[in-house]
Amino acid sequence: MSRIVLGVSGGVAAYKAALLLRAFTESGHDVRVVPTPSALHFVGAATFEALSGNPVSTDVWTDVPEVAHVRIGQEADLVVVAPATADLLARAATGRADDLLTATLLTAHCPVVFVPAMHTEMWLHPATQENVATLRRRGSVVLPPAVGRLTGPDSGPGRLPEPADIAALAAVVLEHGADALAQDLTGRRVVVSAGGTREPLDPVRYLGNRSSGKQGWALARVAAARGADVVLVAANVELPAPFGVRVVPVGTAEELRAAMLAESVDADVVVMSAAVADFRPAEVATTKMKKGSASEPDSIPLVRNPDVLAELVTKRTPGQLVVGFAAETGDADGDVLAHARAKLARKGSDLLVVNDVSGGQVFGRAENAVVVLASDGSATEVPPGAKDAVAAGIWTAVSSRLGTPAEG
Ligand code: CTP
C-alpha cells in the first residue's frame, strides 16, 4: 500500500478527480485528497472524505498541531494533481505556499505528477508553457492534456485525460519514478499496431486469436504521455482510446497492412505489437455456412497473409525504427531467446520485444515481462510489471536508439 496525495485544483474537470480517487483506493492505496479552496466550488469535501476515508482540508489553519502542510508532503509516496489548472501550475512553478496543496508540493520528496486541464488558450499561453517547462526541468511529470471537447462547445488540447489513463500512468511513476514518463518522445511520430486480426470465413464467423490489445494500448498511452504524436492501428479492440491518441480501427490482416503502410510513411517509430493472423481462409463464403447443406465445408483451405512487419522493414524511411513483437515458447529446438534471435534476424527489424508465453502467461492479463532484443545483439530485460510499466521500459530502450529529431 502506498500513500498517494491527490491534489485537486479548481476546474470543472475536478469531478473526474472523484473517479481517479476511486481508482487509487481500489488499487489498495491510502489516498489523502488536498483540494484548493476553489476546487471545493466544483466538488464538495464530503465526496472526497467519504471516498478516501481521510479528512480533507484546504488551508494550513486546520489541525495546526498536526503540522499538516509539512507532514502530508513529507510522508507521500506520490503526489498527483488532477486537474492542474493554469493558476495551480503557475503557483507551483513559482514556489508559492498560499494553501495546503501548494505547501504540500514544496515539502514532497516523492515524484509529482501534474495533469493539466484548462481551456486551449490558457494551455498554449507562453506563461503556462514556461511554467510547465519549469516544473518538468525540476523533475516533475506534467502530462500533456488530452485533445477533445472542453467545457463549452469548443474543443482542442486542454481536456483532462480519463481517470483510467491517469491511474495507469500514475502507477508507472509510483513504481519506477518520474523518469519513466520523461518527455523523450516530444516531436516524435509513433505508430503502434495492437489487438488481433480477424479473418472472415463467412458473414458471421472468423479465424481470430486471443490478443487483448492491452500491451499495444499501454504502449500508445505511455508514448503519448512521453510527448509523442501517436497513431494506434487497432485490430478488433473494444477499449476506449487512450488520451491524445488517434485510433485507426481495422479488422483483417490486409486492412492492418494498408493502415500501417499509410500511417508509417513519416513516422519515427513503428511498433508491430498486433497479433496478425499468418493465414486466412482462401475463400470467404458470401452466405452463412450451414450444417448438412451444400455449403458445409469438409475442410477450410488457408492461404498465407502478407508479413506486415517484414514489409514495413523493407519500406523503412531513413532514421525510422521498426519494432517487432514475438510471443515465443521454448522447445526442443531452442529456448525462447534463441527462437527470438532467429526471428529478429529473419524479420530484419531494429528491435524485437520478446514475450515468453509458455503456459499462456500473457494473453488478456494486466501483467507482462519482456526482453528487448536489438539488431546490434544487445538484450535489455524489462522486469515483470503492469503493462504500462513494461511499455515504459520498452520506450526507454527505443528512445535511446532514436537519432536527433528532424526540424519542423
Ligand atoms: N507479424 C506481421 N505479419 C504477419 C505475422 C506477424 O507483421 N503476418 C508481426 C507481428 O506483429 C509481430 C511479429 O511479426 O511483430 C512476430 O509475429 P509472430 O507471429 O511471432 O511471427 P511469425 O512470422 O508468424 O513467426 P512464426 O509463426 O514462425 O513464429
Which residues does 264 contact at the CB level (< 8 Å), separation at least 6?
Answer: 191, 270, 312, 315, 320
**Residue bearing the CA closest to ligand 1, atom 4:** 307
Candidate of 308, 352, 398 to mutate for ligand 1, largest count of ligand atoms within 8 Å of Cβ: 308
Contact (CB, 8 A) for 289 and 209: no
Q: What is the per-residue burial (b if ≥16 Cβ within 10 Å, else e) of 291-326?
A: eeeeeeeeeeeeeebebbbbebbeebeeebbbbbbb
| Residue 75, all three cell numbers | 510522508
> Which residues of the chain register pLDDT less than 50?
408
Q: How many helices (H) and strands (E) does the chain have?
A: 13, 19
309 lines ligand 1 (CB under 6 A): yes
324 C-beta closer than 6 A to ligand 1: yes
Query: For residues 68, 71, 74 and 76, what is the CA-based torsion angle, rounded to 10 degrees?
Result: -70
State whether the beta carbon of 307 lies less than 6 angstroms from ligand 1: yes
User: What pLDDT, on a 0 to 100 scale, did the predictor assign at position 408?
Assistant: 47
274 CB within 6 A, ligand 1: yes
Q: Is the CB of 305 under 6 A from ligand 1?
A: yes
pLDDT at 403: 81
Q: Which of 207, 279, 309 to mutate to test the pocket of ligand 1 (most atoms within 8 A of CB)?
A: 309
The answer, yes or no, to whether any atom of ligand 1 lies below 6 A from the CB of 270, is: no
CA distance 168 to 178: 14
Residue 246 Cα to ligand 1 middle (Å): 24
**Where along the chain do its domains lie?**
3-181, 189-399
For position 364, what pLDDT does the model report?
58
Atom 14 (ligand 1) nearest CA = 309
On the CB side of 382, CA atoms within 13 Å amount to: 28
How far, in Å, is the centroid of ligand 1 from the Cα of 274? 9
> Is the dihedral angle over the CA atoms 306, 308, 310, 311 positive or is it negative?
positive
List residues with catalytic annotation: 209
Query: What class has domain 3-181?
Result: alpha beta
Nearest residue by C-alpha to atom 8 in ligand 1: 307
Predicted confidence at residue 365, as pLDDT, reads 62
Torsion over CA: 92, 186, 15, 53 (sign): negative
pLDDT of residue 180: 97
Q: What confidence tens digit (pLDDT) does each residue in 229-254 have?
A: 999 999 999 999 999 999 999 999 99
CA 388/CA 165 separation, integer angstroms: 10
Query: Do residues 169 and 153 touch, judged by C-beta distance below 8 A?
Result: no
Evaluate whether 38 touches 98 at the Cβ level (below 8 Å): no
CATH number for the 189-399 domain, one of 3.10.20.740, 3.10.150.10, 3.40.50.10300, 2.60.120.200?
A: 3.40.50.10300
Q: Is 349 in the pocket of ligand 1 (CB under 6 A)?
A: no
At residue 304, the pLDDT reads 98
> Interhelix angle for 45-52 vs 14-26, to 10°?
10
Predicted structure pTM score? 0.94
Same fold across 3-181 and 189-399: yes
